[in-house]
Structure 1
Amino acid sequence: MSISKRITLFSTGFLFLLLVLVNGSIYFLFQQFSTNAELERMQAQLQTIAESAQGSQSDLWLTSYGTGDGMLRVIREDGSSTLTVTKEPDLRLIPAEYSNRESGEVISYQEQSYSLNRFPIIWVDGSIVSLELIHPLTTLESTLSTLRIVLMIASVLIIIPAYFAGRALGRIILMPVQTLINTMQGIRGSGSFQKIDIKPDAKDELAQMSHTFNEMMELLEENYDKQQRFVSDASHELRTPLTVIESYASLLKRWGMKKPDLLEEAVDAIYDESQRMKGLTKQMLALATGEPDKTVILQQIDLVKSAEDTAKRLRQAYRREIVVTANEKPIYILGDPERIKQLLFIFVENGLKYSDDDIRITLDQKINNVVLSIQDKGIGIPKDDIPNVFERFFRVDKARSRQTGGSGLGLSIAKAIIDAHGAKVDVQSEEGKGTTFRISFPQVNKKQNEKQSGGEKVDE
């Protein structure tokens, strides 16, 4: 049974019980009040008759008393009837009962209600008798019958509209619930995240339920986006080390057994890339759980060596020329080795995708900072798009990105690494001529070298 029907039946049933109680109480009180009033009226009438009888020296006048459909009789102490006045012979069969005090009650005889009143008087012979008056309650029963009909008709006139009102109320109350059901069915059918439209002035519990549902949809959509980002990040970040490993494995397969120096280089490269993949996998899993690892371990690293190692491996993997130049050797910065390698891989690989010429990595140690430049001679970036290149999923040349497998994630990840190291990035580009990314790292002085030689954890 639907909730709407339950609401209708409950409200109608509750109203029916309430009407039964109210109408029953009204009927009972009216019956008691009317019956007591009738008994009091007949008792007053009997008292008048008794007063007239006590002032008379004969009982003949009682025979002329008009009782209508009732009966008047005199009952002695032994229960015998001395005098009976009635037009209804059947009433004589009602048992006579002597009483030495005033009383009044309602009796039922032959399915008819009568009022029975008694009043003690001194009879003409000096004995004390009970004067009894029996009168049918025809008018009262007719009135009560009319009242019953009126109450029943009123109840029906109330119950029928209440039933339809209960149905309408159930529909109104459950409208947000039905909207919720339709929205959930729509979500199941389309696979998209939908929300319920809520009136701005709605403040009731159903509105709160709708707000809660919308918040739940937002949370689910956010978690779904995180999952999608995880898949994209994983595919993007793991592609480069897998390419390097595949390249060196292929090299080992062809020449590794004949050239020991090449064997050692390839094994070292594969080991380093597998370690980097392990770190990337850890980061990706942390991202999938919604708690990404934002801790970088700062230590003194040689940026020139990191750049040369990166160039060597990508040169081997992509069979492209990557030139590294530095105004000094070594050049030290405080950074996380794995994150710096990841940063170099992203920028160099980005240049390899959008350029067919050589990639140049330049390192310039200055007084207050160290500048890392990655330059390509590719398609370039439109001036209006330069401020957006570090946004997630932004791609300048979408057609070429699809061909090269670009996801628009690399530069956003690189920007997060740059920010984590307290560095700054600048982009210079011209369409058709190429792009240069310049990352400026803080300079490391001697005191910092001594302090950071063991490494220091810093939150991003």
Structure 2
Amino acid sequence: MTLRKRFTFFTIFWLIFILILFNIFVYLFVIKITLRSEDQLLTNKVNILLEDPRINDPATLSDPDLLRDYYNASELMRIVDTKGMVLNSRGSDPELLALPPVFTEQHETGMMFIDGRRALFMKVPLYHGSQVIGTLEMYRKLTLLDSYLQVLVIALTITSVGATLFAIIGTYWFTSRLTSPIQHMVQTMREIDRSGKLRQIELDQKDQSAELLQLARAFNQMIDRLDRTFEHQKQFVVDASHELKTPLTVISSYAGMLKRWGRDDDTIRDEAIEAISKEAQRLQNLTKSMLMLAQAEQEDWLKAEIFNVVQLAEETADLLHMTFQRMIRVHSAKPEVRLRADKDKIRQLMVILLDNAIKYSKETIDISLTVTKGTVRISVSDKGIGIPEEEMPYIFERFFRVDGARSRSTGGVGLGLSIAKRIVDLHDGQIDVFSKPEQGTTITVVLPQKK
């Protein structure tokens, strides 16, 4: 069942249920108010009649003028003696006259149905001194109330049917407008699936609700993100193909040279072997970096634990010092700084930053660790060639290298900072670069010190 039908049926059924409850309440309320008013009128008439001195005198109970002054149409008034005989009676309604007279010493009042019509009755004992001499019976048909109730039922039925019809039309119109953006979205998805081209939804912000606008914006943001992702994938494939092309071309050229002349010429053979080995190593590093970058795109790549980041920085600095014979100093005001993060990924982050500093500088490299307002700040500074200002916006892009000719000689593939930024992003951190050409570069990473 479609959303429009479900919403329409639910609205109609709920409206009918409310109308039924409302009609029942109005019907019972009108009956209660009217009965209370009629009962009060009947009580007032009985009280007035009891104040007449003739009503308490056995000799005047049968006086025809006694009840005539208080009689109204649709009523029956009569006096019954202790033997159940009617002493005095006023009334013209045959149904009321057919009611049997009953003597009672108790005060009785209530409502009864006569041939499906309501009638109020009141029975009051009459006293002469302390002796009961008879019973005053009063009956009153509520003909006007029954007529009003019939009109009320007809009016409530007509208004309920009319309200239901208007609700059906209004709900169908409203649900049509409500679901039209969703149908438009579904149609857009089908067109995207059929054509393979991403496109966004265009909605009139004046005619749509805030929720639908949020849904449309979320859909358009998703499409925009997919579009950027596809473009990045295309660019990644193009850049990767370009990066792979150079070492493969070099290996193929030197392999051909080695095949043609290398058997007899030791110089050519040594040169070819060295070039092939160098480019094969470069190709291996490129493949390893690409696989690492692909793994970094996964959200569950991290395995968080609590560790001392100062100790980790010192271990990483000692390792690279032994490998590259470069002085790396660690500066920290505290000997222990606790951080909850993926220890291996933070080590990899430091290695990437230090490796870049080693490649592009000759002097001592400094690592500074500080803690401020629940964050850990890691800064790696060098005094190398620096980064030109016009190239700063692109340093985190894949395969981008500062001064491509010199970076190729260092063996870089342009993926290190992309991997570093991904590690920082997965830790909900921030990475910034401060650099001046020929003066050096400082890369600062800020990570939240999560508990």
- Pair in the same fold by TM > 0.5: yes
Distance (Å, rounded) in 2 between the aligned partners of 1:238 and 1:232: 10
Flag the structure with more relative contact order, 1 or 2, with Cα contacts below 8 A and sequence separation at least 6. 1
Distance (Å, rounded) in 2 between the aligned partners of 1:7 and 1:173: 10
Matching residue within 188, 195, 213 for 1:190? 195
Distance (Å, rounded) in 1 between the aligned partners of 2:295 and 2:235: 12
Per the alignment, residue 136 of structure 1 pairs with: 141
Q: What SS does the aligned partner of 2:64 have?
A: helix
Q: What is the CA-CA distance between 1:61 and the residue it aligns to?
A: 0.8
Corresponding letter in the other structure for 1:61:
P
Per the alignment, residue 64 of structure 2 pairs with: 61
1:205 aligns with 2:211: yes
Q: CA-to-partner distance for each residue in 1:377-418, whole Å, 9 max, x for gaps?
A: xxxxxxxxxxx9xx99xxxxxxxxxxxxxxxx99x9466647
How do 1:389-428 residues align onto structure 2 when only pairs under 5 Å count?
413=400, 417=404
Q: What SS does the aligned partner of 2:136 have?
A: strand
Query: Normalising by the residue count of structure 1, what TM-score does the alignment of the two structures yield?
Result: 0.59
Change (3 A) 1:210 1:104: same
Per the alignment, residue 12 of structure 2 pairs with: 12
State the percentage of identical aligned residues. Answer: 26
Q: What is the CA-CA distance between 1:200 and the residue it aligns to?
A: 5.5
Per the alignment, residue 126 of structure 2 pairs with: 121
Corresponding letter in the other structure for 2:13:
G
Distance (Å, rounded) in 2 between the aligned partners of 1:164 and 1:219: 40
Q: What is the CA-CA distance between 1:116 and the residue it aligns to?
A: 0.9
1:111 aligns with 2:116: yes
CA contact (8 A) 1:80 1:96 kept: yes
Distance (Å, rounded) in 2 between the aligned partners of 1:290 and 1:197: 34
Q: What SS does the aligned partner of 2:122 have?
A: strand
How do 1:267-306 residues align onto structure 2 when only pairs under 5 Å count?
267-285=273-291, 295=353, 297-299=356-358
Q: What is the CA-CA distance between 1:180 and the residue it aligns to?
A: 2.0
Distance (Å, rounded) in 2 between the aligned partners of 1:152 and 1:243: 89
Q: CA-to-partner distance for each residue in 1:344-395, whole Å, 9 max, x for gaps?
A: xxxxxxxxxxxxxxxxxxxxxxxxx99xxxxxxxxxxxxxxxxx9xx99xxx
Q: What is the CA-CA distance between 1:134 and the residue it aligns to?
A: 1.9
Distance (Å, rounded) in 2 between the aligned partners of 1:86 and 1:48: 19
Corresponding letter in the other structure for 2:188:
T
Distance (Å, rounded) in 2 between the aligned partners of 1:10 and 1:214: 31
Q: What is the CA-CA distance between 1:135 and the residue it aligns to?
A: 2.5
Corresponding letter in the other structure for 1:167:
Y
Change (3 A) 1:199 1:417: farther
1:170 aligns with 2:171: no
Q: CA-to-partner distance for each residue in 1:294-315, whole Å, 9 max, x for gaps?
A: 75535579xxxxxxxxxxxxxx
How do 1:180-259 residues align onto structure 2 when only pairs under 5 Å count?
180-199=185-204, 204-259=210-265
Q: CA-to-partner distance for each residue in 1:184-217, whole Å, 9 max, x for gaps?
A: 2222222222112244567712212222222222
Q: What is the CA-CA distance between 1:103 and the residue it aligns to?
A: 4.0
CA contact (8 A) 1:115 1:135 kept: yes
Change (3 A) 1:414 1:54: closer
Give me the CA root mean square deviation.
4.4
Larger radius of gyration: 1
Q: How many residues align?
A: 331
Change (3 A) 1:231 1:459: farther
Corresponding letter in the other structure for 1:276:
R
Q: What is the CA-CA distance between 1:33 and the residue it aligns to?
A: 0.9
CA contact (8 A) 2:67 2:89 kept: no
Instruction: Flag structure 2 segments of 5+ consecutive residues without an equivalent.
Output: 298-347, 364-383, 409-436, 446-451
Q: What is the CA-CA distance between 1:4 and the residue it aligns to?
A: 1.6
Distance (Å, rounded) in 2 between the aligned partners of 1:420 and 1:251: 27
Per the alignment, residue 376 of structure 2 pairs with: none
CA contact (8 A) 1:298 1:458 kept: no
Corresponding letter in the other structure for 1:211:
R
Q: What is the CA-CA distance between 1:240 and the residue it aligns to?
A: 1.6
Q: What is the CA-CA distance between 1:5 and the residue it aligns to?
A: 1.8
Change (3 A) 1:420 1:238: closer
Per the alignment, residue 35 of structure 2 pairs with: 35
Corresponding letter in the other structure for 1:270:
I
1:72 aligns with 2:73: no
CA contact (8 A) 1:230 1:284 kept: no
Change (3 A) 1:117 1:158: same
Distance (Å, rounded) in 1 between the aligned partners of 2:403 and 2:100: 111
How do 1:75-86 residues align onto structure 2 when only pairs under 5 Å count?
75-76=80-81
Q: What is the CA-CA distance between 1:232 and the residue it aligns to?
A: 0.4
Change (3 A) 1:420 1:76: farther
Q: What is the CA-CA distance between 1:50 and the residue it aligns to?
A: 4.6
Change (3 A) 1:418 1:43: farther
Q: CA-to-partner distance for each residue in 1:416-443, whole Å, 9 max, x for gaps?
A: 647989xxxxxxxxxxxxxxxxxxx959
Q: What SS does the aligned partner of 1:297 have?
A: helix
Q: What SS does the aligned partner of 2:356 have?
A: strand
Q: CA-to-partner distance for each residue in 1:262-305, whole Å, 9 max, x for gaps?
A: 4433222221111111222244445556779975535579xxxx
Q: CA-to-partner distance for each residue in 1:321-358, whole Å, 9 max, x for gaps?
A: xxxxxxxxxxxx869xxxxxxxxxxxxxxxxxxxxxxx
Q: What is the CA-CA distance between 1:106 and the residue it aligns to?
A: 0.8
Per the alignment, residue 378 of structure 2 pairs with: none
CA contact (8 A) 1:54 1:124 kept: no
Q: CA-to-partner distance for each residue in 1:131-190, whole Å, 9 max, x for gaps?
A: 112232222111111111111111112121111111122122223322222222222222
Q: CA-to-partner distance for each residue in 1:88-142, whole Å, 9 max, x for gaps?
A: 5655664655444544311123333221112222379964322112232222111
Per the alignment, residue 371 of structure 2 pairs with: none
CA contact (8 A) 1:108 1:114 kept: yes
Q: What SS does the aligned partner of 1:240 have?
A: helix
Per the alignment, residue 427 of structure 2 pairs with: none
Instruction: Flag structure 1 segments of 5+ consecutive residues without an equivalent.
Output: 302-332, 336-368, 371-387, 393-408, 422-440, 449-455
Per the alignment, residue 179 of structure 1 pairs with: 184
Q: What is the CA-CA distance between 1:458 and the residue it aligns to?
A: 7.1
Q: What SS does the aligned partner of 1:270 have?
A: helix
Change (3 A) 1:413 1:459: farther
Q: Could you tell which deviates more after superposition, 15-24 or 37-46?
A: 37-46
